[in-house]
Amino acid sequence: MFDKLLAIIAPHYCYRCGKIGSILCDNCKKYITSRQYTSCVLCGRIVKKANLCGTHHQSYDTLWCFGLRQGVIKKVIDDYKFHRVRAAAAVLADLLDSRLPTLPDDVAIVPIPTTSKNMRRRGYDHMLLIAKYLAKRRNLPLSPLLRRRNNVTQHFTKSSKERKRQARYFFEPASMIDPDKTYLIIDDIFTTGATISAATDCLKKAGAKRVEVAVIARHGTP
């Protein structure tokens, strides 16, 4: 209700073409989603389906990525995370939804939880909000199974080694894991993969057998 009222009082303009009405108009959203990201997020090789080629052995079973963190995608993500543009949540969920294949009914969506510090600053858990939209679109259960152990966040300036060392202590299970379910972890940005690897390890140590990952954007190049 609040978002709808805000849209009337202070309407959004399309980030790509400037048309009034939404952050991404239907035409621009269609154009952006038609330009699929077809590279492995770890090495840059061209891939046909998911964004992880067969040469890498990761704890997660597969990974999808919508695009690169640049241009319009970067602006939507950054305004959502750093300037409280809540309307971007539905747009980002749409972009993620467009990249994912048909998912079986046993899949549960698991958002990477934000820190309590960032939640207070934004006024919302940004990935939980995206996860709610995505779960509704796909008619899949939302399972916030991860809990932050601390308020430490990753930064683009940290080295890959430092990010991986730091991420090992990020998460703990928030509730019981069903080993018969497939868990789909969703996050906004992939840099080294340290965060999603730590989240996957947390779920698998708690009993999950299959964990997949979907991210909105790849930061930088492999």
The CATH number linked to 107 is 3.40.50
pLDDT, tens digit (0-9, with 9 covering 90-100), for 177-219 = 999 999 999 999 999 999 999 999 999 999 999 999 999 999 9
169 membership: H or E segment, kind and range: none
Give pLDDT, residue 177.
Answer: 95
pLDDT, tens digit (0-9, with 9 covering 90-100), for 118-139 = 888 899 999 999 999 999 999 9
* Eight-class DSSP state of 19: -
**Given a cut of 70, is residue 165 above it in pLDDT?**
no
Give pLDDT, residue 19.
Answer: 95
Region 44-63: what's the mean pLDDT? 94
Q: Is 183 domain-assigned?
A: yes
Q: What are phi and psi of 152, to 5 degrees?
A: -75, 135
Give the number of other Cβ atoms within 10 Å of residue 148's Cβ: 19
What are the tokens at 18? 């400037």
Average pLDDT, the chain: 90
Q: Is 95 domain-assigned?
A: yes
Give pLDDT, residue 173.
Answer: 93
Give pLDDT, residue 208.
Answer: 97
CA dihedral 38, 42, 43, 47 (to 10 degrees): -30
Whole-structure pTM over 0.85, yes or no?
yes
Q: Is 156 domain-assigned?
A: yes
Give pLDDT, residue 206.
Answer: 96
Which amino acid, 161? K
Give pLDDT, residue 20.
Answer: 93
Q: Is 100 domain-assigned?
A: yes
What is the distance between the alpha carbons of residues 101 and 136, in angstroms, rounded to a whole number? Answer: 16
What is the distance between the alpha carbons of residues 155 and 174, in angstroms, rounded to a whole number? Answer: 24
Q: Is 6 domain-assigned?
A: no
**pLDDT confidence bin for 9, thresholds 50/70/90:** low
Q: What is the domain count for the chain?
A: 1
What is the distance between the alpha carbons of residues 7 and 22, in angstroms, rounded to a whole number? Answer: 8
Structural domain boundaries, residue 71: 37-218
**pLDDT confidence bin for 36, thresholds 50/70/90:** confident
Region 147-155: what's the mean pLDDT? 71
Could you tell me which residue, 217 or 8, shows the higher pLDDT?
217
Q: Is 94 domain-assigned?
A: yes
Q: How many CA atoms lie within 13 A of 25 on its CB side?
A: 12
Q: Is 25 domain-assigned?
A: no
Q: Is 8 domain-assigned?
A: no
Secondary structure in 3-state letters for 27-51: HHHHHHHHCCCCECCCCCCECCCCC
**pLDDT confidence bin for 116, thresholds 50/70/90:** confident
